[in-house]
Amino acid sequence: MVMAENQIEIIPPHGALIAHRGANLITRADLADLPLPEATRTHKPVAHAQIVNALLETLSFRHIQVVRDEYAVSEDGMKMFGVLDLDYQYHDVRFSIGIRNANDKSMRLAMVIGYRVFVCDNMAFQGDFQPVFAKHSSRLDLIDTVSVGVDKMQRNFDPLKNQLGKWKTHELSDVDAKMILYQAFIEGQLEVPNVIKDVHQLYFEPQYDDFRPRNLWSLSNAFTSAFKELRPFQQFKSTAKLSPFLETFAT
């Protein structure tokens, strides 16, 4: 689809991986070729490929498939960042998993889940729920850690779906929508860069039929689509603040 010069394309929510601080994008197969340092008495490195394979296997046991995945690693191969989009959908919204791992003691093995997941090599790591945050200790059981994490993830699908359903059924008058924009940007309650014109255009002149209904979900997508024009870390911070802000209008 060709967009006019002054238009912003709305991209359906999914996992976003950004590598701009020295990390390199690689394929899933390439993860197996990365070096693994020796374990010590207190630190147990875990191969990035082993983590991803354990996650894929655990998801498949629960009949959840990955439809898209991408990864980035630091230049020395010690840090890994990734996003995996799942075939689990609700109201045309796809859920994703964000994952990161480090074998140089710089960060723990962690995963996040949500319908807006953001992973960046500058350590920005955002989702709606974090089911895994594990230290690389000698007692780390990868299979158990991933299995428990996926179980927690599945239990939190329902609260996420409830929020989506609530936002989709929360109708907004044009006056209500404009008041939310006013409070977000003019009064500064959202504390993000001022992209009010972009949000206004995306909400009142939507490019996709799914976002034409005048409700809180369409407004949320207008915000996040406008945020995609920001620098990666600004995008991360702005998106993280959005849900709590909009939830105050859903009650």
Are 192 and 110 contained in the same domain?
no
3 state DSSP class of 200: helix
The number of distinct structural domains making up the chain is 2
Are 111 and 53 contained in the same domain?
yes
Are 239 and 120 contained in the same domain?
no
pLDDT at 127: 84
* Domain-located, residue 163: no
Are 66 and 188 contained in the same domain?
no
- pLDDT, block means (10 residues), the chain with 251 residues: 32 68 92 94 94 97 94 96 90 87 95 88 85 92 95 90 91 97 96 96 90 93 90 82 91 76
Are 209 and 131 contained in the same domain?
no
- First and final C-alpha spacing in the chain: 37
Are 54 and 150 contained in the same domain?
yes
pLDDT at 11: 38
* Domain-located, residue 2: no
- The alpha carbon of residue 22 and the mean position of all alpha carbons in its chain are separated, in whole angstroms, by 21
* Rounded Cα–Cα distance for residues 247 and 1 (Å): 33
Tens digits of per-residue pLDDT, 146-200?
999 999 999 988 888 888 889 999 999 999 999 999 999 999 999 999 999 999 9
**Residue whose pair of structure tokens reads 């945050």 in the numeric block:** 133
- Torsion angle in degrees (nearest 10) through CA of 34, 39, 40, 41: 150
- Residue at which a domain ends, from 103, 124, 155: 155
- Residue at which a domain ends, from 155, 190, 221: 155
Are 24 and 143 contained in the same domain?
yes
Joined together, the tokens standing for residue 56 give 């894929």
Q: In what order do the strands lie in the sheet with 24-26?
A: 24-26, 66-73, 79-90, 93-102, 109-114, 129-134
pLDDT at 7: 35
3 state DSSP class of 148: helix
* Rounded Cα–Cα distance for residues 235 and 25 (Å): 20
Are 97 and 193 contained in the same domain?
no
Are 39 and 147 contained in the same domain?
yes
Contact 79, 100 (CB under 8 A): yes
* Domain-located, residue 8: no
* Domain-located, residue 148: yes
pTM, two decimals, is: 0.80
pLDDT at 14: 60
Q: What is the extent of the structural domain holding 94?
A: 16-155
